[in-house]
């Protein structure tokens, strides 16, 4: 594999973990526009610990996840007091505060950034991305996953049925923070450098689009959205500067044609082997052959 291809795969793995971090909160009906802030905390936590002499991987990455999980837990209480667009703006403000603090903290490199001495290769990123994806798929099949889906569909009814709405919402912010911290720590160790300008508002918007375009109804959505946003811009490079126009148009068309996302719960159910095993033989045969 060429160095260019390895770079694309590495970005895809980091983006996939990041997308699942945002998906967990979106699956409970909470749109998080502060993803860049959580990823920055994870990246800088790993960078600081690595510069302090901690061994990469087995120590700095879990520690970075713990720090961002704590940040997610703490920020959930004030953020969840807001509703609707105000909650989204509150998460966005959180990311901007984190970026501003990093830019003005000289001990963290300020605007210059920090070098990360320890390196994690592509296999570590791929293994982490696979583990994060499997974890989220498993989580959504548990009672916890059913509870957050119930909150997403109707928060009031979920509360009446005995679901602890506020505790579940705090839990998804905490889990989302941990996964965002994982993506940030892997970014820091793979690219060996962190700077506050990378973790900007555009990154928060993009990762939320990964999830919304892919779909929030099933855990396949973030995978589809990350593939779309990571690979399509690379495929459009042959078009020169026009690739941005084509890419933007593709996003608009996708939002018009599939406002519920690329992968919906109904589509995932229809494509599952379990569906075809339960279907009558004639219907299953037509489905397999595109009938």
pTM, 2 dp: 0.88
Q: Are 164 and 52 in contact (CB under 8 A)?
A: no
Per-residue pLDDT of the chain in tens (291 residues, 90 and over written 9): 677 888 899 999 999 999 999 999 998 888 889 999 999 999 999 999 999 887 766 789 999 999 999 999 999 999 988 888 888 899 999 999 999 999 999 889 888 989 998 899 999 999 999 999 999 999 999 999 999 988 888 888 888 888 888 999 999 999 999 999 999 999 999 999 999 999 998 899 989 988 988 888 888 999 999 998 888 877 777 666 777 787 788 888 888 887 788 888 777 777 666 655 555 554 444 444 443
* 239 belongs to a structural domain: no
Tokens 């700077």 -> residue: 195
Q: What is the pLDDT of residue 280?
A: 55
Residue 246 lies in a domain: no
* pLDDT given at position 281: 53
Residue bearing tokens 């970075």: 64
168 part of a folded domain: yes
pLDDT at res. 264: 80
Q: What is the pLDDT of residue 291?
A: 39
Task: Say if 76 falls within a structural domain.
Answer: yes
Residue 236's pLDDT is what? 74
- Kindly tell me the number of DSSP H helices and DSSP E strands found in the chain: 14, 2
Rounded to whole angstroms, the Cα distance separating 273 from 157 reads: 32
Look at residue 66 and tell me if it is in a domain: yes
The answer as to whether 287 is a domain residue is no
Q: How far apart are the first and last CA of the chain?
A: 39
Predicted local confidence at residue 284, as pLDDT:
46
In terms of residues, how long is the chain?
A: 291
Start-end of H helices in 109-236: 122-141, 143-153, 155-160, 165-191, 201-214, 220-235
CB atoms within 10 A of CB 207: 28
Query: Do residues 35 and 72 make contact, with C-beta atoms less than 8 angstroms apart?
Result: no
Q: Which domain holds residue 65?
A: 3-200
For residue 21, being part of any structural domain is answered with yes
Q: Among all chains, which residue has been given the structure tokens 């953020």?
A: 79
Q: 230 lies in a domain?
A: no
CA 263 – CA 212 distance, rounded (Å): 10
Work out how many domains the chain is built from and give that number. Answer: 1
154: tokens are 């109707």
């Amino acid at each position: 594999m060429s160095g260019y291809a390895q770079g694309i795969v590495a970005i895809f793995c980091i983006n996939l973990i990041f997308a699942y971090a945002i998906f967990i909160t979106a699956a409970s009906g909470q749109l998080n526009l502060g993803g860049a802030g959580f990823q920055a905390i994870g990246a800088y936590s790993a960078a600081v610990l690595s510069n302090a002499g901690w061994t990469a991987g087995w120590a700095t990455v879990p520690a970075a996840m713990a720090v961002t999980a704590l940040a997610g837990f703490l920020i959930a209480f004030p953020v969840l007091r807001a509703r609707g667009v105000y909650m989204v703006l509150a998460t966005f403000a959180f990311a901007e505060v984190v970026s501003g603090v990093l830019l003005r903290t000289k001990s963290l490199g300020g605007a210059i950034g920090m070098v990360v001495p320890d390196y994690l290769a592509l296999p570590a990123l791929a293994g982490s991305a696979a583990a994060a994806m499997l974890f989220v798929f498993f989580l959504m099949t548990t009672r916890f996953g059913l509870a957050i889906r119930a909150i997403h569909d109707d928060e009031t009814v979920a509360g009446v049925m005995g679901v602890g709405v506020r505790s579940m919402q705090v839990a998804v912010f905490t889990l989302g923070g941990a996964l965002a911290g994982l993506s940030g720590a892997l970014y820091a160790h793979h690219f060996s450098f962190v700077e506050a300008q990378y973790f900007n508002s555009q990154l928060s918007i993009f990762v939320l689009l990964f999830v919304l375009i892919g779909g929030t109804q099933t855990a396949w959505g973030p995978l589809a959205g990350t593939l779309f946003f990571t690979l399509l811009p690379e495929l459009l490079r042959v078009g020169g500067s026009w690739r941005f126009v084509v890419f933007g148009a593709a996003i608009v068309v996708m939002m018009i044609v599939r406002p519920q996302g690329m992968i919906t719960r109904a589509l995932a159910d229809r494509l599952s082997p379990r569906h075809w095993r339960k279907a009558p033989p004639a219907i299953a045969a037509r489905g397999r052959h595109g009938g």
